[in-house]
Amino acid sequence: MKNEFHFELFGDYALFTDPLTKIGGEKLSYSVPTYQALKGIAESIYWKPTIMFVIDELRVMKPIQMESKAVRPIDYGGGNTLANYTYLKDVHYQIRAHFEFNPHRPDLAFDRIDGKHYSILQRSLKAGGRRDIFLGARECQGYVAPCEFGSGTGFYDEEGKHHLGTMVHGFNYPDETGQSQLDVRLWSAVMENGYIKFPKPEKCPIVRPIKEMEPKVFNSENIQSAEQLLHDLGGE
């Protein structure tokens, strides 16, 4: 199965929010992106419900820097709130990932064509993604481009191990687990010489339920093929 791809991710600012800092209305970024944030960025490059993206490894290319800003968040009650957000500054990463067919969606078995999805993914990546890329928050614009994972010189190449503490890994959505429940996953992140190897979602040591949730329904009746769409538009 031809399914592995590499890309670089960069931007001026990023906000991969630590949920513990949201309680008082402030926001503080994790020092590195979460698995779920990178998975969401991969889905912004190209997404179909037939496939699931798996983030294998992250490489931090530039030094981890933070900058605080006074922000006036939207207050629907008409107040004049001022909050302090702490962003990552001048970020640059390399990501190694792959996609797998979703085993919990047998209704989409007709769309399991690895070469098709791989080719579309590569074209979308070269174009900078199908949707806008955000680095954790709407105000943090990001950019993606193809790369060779491990190429070039990274800031932490000779820095040894850095323990980053307990972080949110991601969420277990019903579409990808086959369960009618939304869970959150946690793990202890370690960066070694600038590289962070992510465990697969099913191997995360801490999983906590959030709420009941039903999977979305996709099938051949509500997904038009390119050929059918062309025919409907009057093409050949």
> Looking up tokens 């490059």, which residue turns up?
45
In the prediction, which pLDDT does 234 show? Answer: 59
Distances (CA, A) of 147 to 64, 96, 97, 125: 21, 10, 12, 10
Judged against a pLDDT cut of 90, whether residue 198 lies above it is answered with yes
In the prediction, which pLDDT does 105 show? Answer: 83
Q: Which residues is 142 bridged to in the sheet?
A: 133
Q: Say if domain 4-73+82-153 classifies as CATH 3.40.50.300.
A: no
Dihedral angle of Cα 156, 159, 165, 168, to the nearest 10 degrees: 20
Q: What percent of the chain has pLDDT over 70?
A: 89
Q: Which tens digit of pLDDT belongs to each residue from 86-98?
A: 999 999 999 999 9
Q: How many CA atoms lie within 13 A of 53 on its CB side?
A: 26
What is the domain partition of the chain in residue ranges?
4-73+82-153
What is the greatest pairwise CA distance in the chain? 61
In the prediction, which pLDDT does 67 show? Answer: 95
Q: Which tens digit of pLDDT belongs to each residue from 2-60?
A: 789 999 999 999 999 988 887 777 889 999 999 999 999 999 999 998 999 999 999 99
3-state secondary structure of 175: helix
pTM of the entire predicted model: 0.84
Confidence of residue 140 (pLDDT cuts 50, 70, 90): very high
